[in-house]
Chain A
């Protein structure tokens, strides 16, 4: 079975632009979470969606938004990009049940110039 897939793999933007990152979860997984991983640090939680509803939000500004579609895929949107938004953005999906582990995609490397 396919794992979590993310697109694009790499992206270069300039300050002030906006970006949309996409994620397809593992088949059957209804929960999708987004994380930001800055170089040299652990991933930081941005959002969790379950059944198209936001179930959790991390400490990120309103420039960050996300949504989940009926097929459980998800988009992460970031507006008014800043240099500090340069990071690896990771999507994770998990099955039903609070004890289920999250399975990660390979991420989108976002570079802001």
Chain B
């Protein structure tokens, strides 16, 4: 069975500082990993994915994520946070050739000016 853990309900960071939102996963076989962001009263917006290849993947809006197979982690990062990055972030995993995404419970990111 697949599962995702986002250990922090909320992350607070000052504008201009680097941010990290943590994610660990469990899946049999090769994982397909995704990060999404959700703004209030909106659907989920795709940020980036890891399928294979380089462990550091770059996505939209300056976000990047680092895949670590030994730690089964896929942490989301950004070098310099913006107030507009404040939102709810979800990590998700899918089995290779699988058909469903399994999401974590989400992490609220608050960026203060």
Query: Contacts of A98 on B, CB cut-off 8 Å?
Result: 32, 96-98
Are the C-beta atoms of B46 and A102 separated by less than 8 Å?
yes
Q: Beyond A41-B105, A45-B100, A104-B36, is A99–B44 a contact (Cβ under 8 Å)? A: no
Nearest CB on A from B99, distance (A): 4
Chain B residues contacting A42 (CB-CB under 8 Å) are 4, 90, 92, 103-106
Nearest residue, chain A, Cβ from B43: A104
Contact partners of A35 in chain B: CB under 8 A: 101
- Contact check, A102 vs B101: say whether CB atoms are below 8 A apart: yes
Q: Whole-angstrom distance between the alpha carbons of A66 and B100 in the complex? A: 15
Chain B interface extent, by class: 20 to 34
The verdict on A81 contacting chain B, using a C-beta distance below 8 Å, is no
Does B17 reach chain A (CB closer than 8 Å)? no
Task: Write out, one digit per residue, whether chain B residues 72-112 have a CB within 8 A of any chain A CB (1) or not (0).
Answer: 00000000000000000010100011111111111000000
Q: Are B34 and A101 in contact (CB under 8 A)?
A: yes
Asked if A104 contacts B44 (CB within 8 A), the reply is yes
Kindly list chain B residues whose C-beta atoms are within 8 Å of the C-beta of A103. Answer: 46
A45 touches B44 (CB 8 A): no
In contact, A101 and B49 (Cβ under 8 angstroms): yes
CA distance A6 to B104 in the complex (A): 23
Interchain CB contact under 8 A, A101 and B46:
yes
How far is A52 from B69 in the complex, measured between Cα atoms in Å? 36
> How long is the Cα–Cα vector from A55 to B43 in the complex, in angstroms?
23
Complex: how many Å from CA A102 to CA B106?
17
CA distance A23 to B81 in the complex (A): 34
30 sample A-B contacts, Cβ–Cβ < 8 Å, listed by A number: A4-B43, A33-B99, A33-B100, A33-B101, A35-B101, A41-B105, A42-B92, A42-B106, A43-B44, A43-B90, A43-B103, A44-B103, A45-B102, A48-B100, A56-B100, A58-B100, A92-B44, A98-B96, A98-B97, A98-B98, A99-B32, A101-B34, A101-B46, A101-B49, A102-B46, A104-B43, A105-B43, A106-B41, A106-B43, A107-B43
Which A residues are closer than 8 A to B by beta carbons? Answer: 4, 33, 35, 40-45, 48, 50, 55-56, 58, 90, 92, 98-99, 101-107
